[in-house]
Amino acid sequence: MRKNASASDAPLQGDNTMNRRHLLATALLCGGAAALPHAAFAQDKYPSRPIRLIVPAAAGGSTDMGARIVAKLMGEALAQPVVVENKGGGGGRIGPAEVARAPADGYTLLYGNNIGQALLPAVVQGLGYDPLKNFAPVGGAFWYSTVIVCNPKAPFDDLKGLIEHAKKNPGKLNVATAGPGSGNHFSSELLGSMAGVKFSHVPYKGNAPATQDVVAGFADCIHIGEAKPYLDTHRLKAIATTGLKRDPRFPQLQTVDELGLKGFDATWWQGVFAPAGTPRNVMDALSAAMRKAIENPSVKASMFDAGFVPEFMTPTEVNARIKSDMSKFQKIAADAKIHID
């Protein structure tokens, strides 16, 4: 009986094998089909945990202040905390390099600016990241200009007088900066180049000591963003602003462009970047949240004293601006032989 049962069951064993294979294949197909909406659902859920926002500057400065306002409002729009992490040092290189190496999943972002994304590449070899290849812009947040301020005893009161004095005294007008390759170093070199004059560059370790020496009369002029306290107390006098648009804090002050050097633009801006390769749905969610944050009416009042003007730039506009700034900074660096080790 056992033998007959085995013989008679032989064809059924083959059928069972085929049936099992068929069932397995069907299960795999069904499982794959079921996984597709699950994967889409998982993507739609972004973000599902807190997001890190790396700031390549110390806490307490204007860049940090801008980052914290953006982080708070983006977090509210995304319903997940956006946590600021300050990664200063390395001349502003450490933070961007870390984000460039981070997973492209939308959970590590950079709060950058055109110093790190366009100026540093013009003066630093072996930067550790490529601004155009390693990052995807989420959007622009703020723009701001600097004010050309001089010691009250300087023998001129306007841009025309400053340029004439520099031409009559080549290399003797001392312009203080925050250091070689700093933003105001580039701004002053651009002014000298377009005006056809040569300034004497006096580098310091930061804007604070540089500005104090201009107040004391050890240097003649400096380009700074936070000029209001010095102007309100008449410790410095204003010559012009450096952006294409007038500084909203000093609407009466004309720009260098308005005063005759057409096309002069030393506008500085900040924005948010993700690692290159971040999924499109994640980028779209981040950009929408950032636009909502920047267009919040409270932001303008919060950033007014620092001179930051909230103005959302699209990712395409940010990329175009980086390329334009890179070209300008590379020329200035080459002409003035600016290099940072």
Average pLDDT of the chain to the nearest whole number: 88
Q: Does position 190 have pLDDT exceeding 50, yes or no?
A: yes
- Both 330 and 273 in one domain: the answer is yes
Q: Does position 163 have pLDDT exceeding 80, yes or no?
A: yes
pLDDT in tens, 127-140: 989 999 999 999 99
State residue 135 phi and psi, 5-degree precision: -130, 150
Give residue 42's pLDDT band: very low, low, confident or very high (50, 70, 90): very low
Give residue 34's pLDDT band: very low, low, confident or very high (50, 70, 90): very low
Nearest to 268 by CA among 328, 193, 337, 215: 328
- Both 154 and 300 in one domain: the answer is no
Q: List strands edge to edge, sheet with 174-177.
A: 200-203, 174-177, 221-224, 147-150, 237-241
Give residue 324's pLDDT band: very low, low, confident or very high (50, 70, 90): very high
Q: How far apart are CA 63 and CA 316, in angstroms?
A: 22
Supply the pLDDT for residue 69.
95
- Both 288 and 308 in one domain: the answer is yes
Question: pLDDT higher for 206 or 2?
Answer: 206
CATH code of the domain in which 94 resides: 3.40.190.150
The total of other beta-carbon atoms located within 10 Å of residue 19's CB is 11
- Both 80 and 131 in one domain: the answer is yes
Question: Do the domain assignments include residue 9?
Answer: no
Q: Does position 144 have pLDDT exceeding 60, yes or no?
A: yes
- Both 117 and 200 in one domain: the answer is no
Question: Do the domain assignments include residue 23?
Answer: no
Report which residue type is found at 179: G
- Both 219 and 71 in one domain: the answer is no
Supply the pLDDT for residue 97.
95
Question: pLDDT higher for 170 or 341?
Answer: 170
Q: Residue 312 corresponds to which tokens in the numbers above? A: 């959302």
Q: Does position 13 have pLDDT exceeding 60, yes or no?
A: no
CATH code of the domain in which 184 resides: 3.40.190.10
Question: Do the domain assignments include residue 161?
Answer: yes
Domain that holds residue 277: 51-144+267-336
> Phi-psi region for residue 106, left (φ > 0), alpha (ψ -120 to 50) or beta?
left
- Both 174 and 97 in one domain: the answer is no
> Phi-psi region for residue 141, left (φ > 0), alpha (ψ -120 to 50) or beta?
alpha
Q: Does position 4 have pLDDT exceeding 60, yes or no?
A: no
pLDDT in tens, 191-222: 999 999 999 999 999 999 999 999 999 999 99
Supply the pLDDT for residue 44.
58
Q: Return the percentage of the chain with pLDDT > 70, whole number.
A: 87
Q: Does position 46 have pLDDT exceeding 70, yes or no?
A: yes
CB-based burial label for 325 (10 Å; 0-12, 13-18, 19+): buried
Supply the pLDDT for residue 18.
38
Question: Do the domain assignments include residue 262?
Answer: no
- Both 133 and 175 in one domain: the answer is no
Question: Do the domain assignments include residue 39?
Answer: no
172 to each of 163, 165, 169, 205, how far by Cα in Å?
12, 9, 6, 21
Q: List strands edge to edge, sheet with 309-313.
A: 82-86, 51-55, 108-113, 268-275, 135-144, 309-313
Picking from 197, 224, 241, the residue at the C-terminal end of a domain is 241
Picking from 241, 258, 276, the residue at the C-terminal end of a domain is 241
- Both 329 and 275 in one domain: the answer is yes
- Both 235 and 277 in one domain: the answer is no
Supply the pLDDT for residue 90.
82
Spatial contact of 95 and 130, defined as CB atoms under 8 Å apart: no
Q: Report the predicted TM-score, pTM, of the whole model to 2 decimal places.
A: 0.82
pLDDT in tens, 226-265: 899 999 999 999 999 999 999 988 999 999 999 999 999 9
pLDDT in tens, 83-124: 999 998 888 899 999 999 999 999 999 999 999 999 999 999
pLDDT in tens, 284-316: 999 999 999 999 998 988 888 778 899 999 999
- Both 113 and 172 in one domain: the answer is no
Cα-to-chain-centroid distance, residue 237: 30
- Both 231 and 281 in one domain: the answer is no
- Structural domain total, the chain: 2
Q: How far apart are CA 54 and CA 319, in angstroms?
A: 20
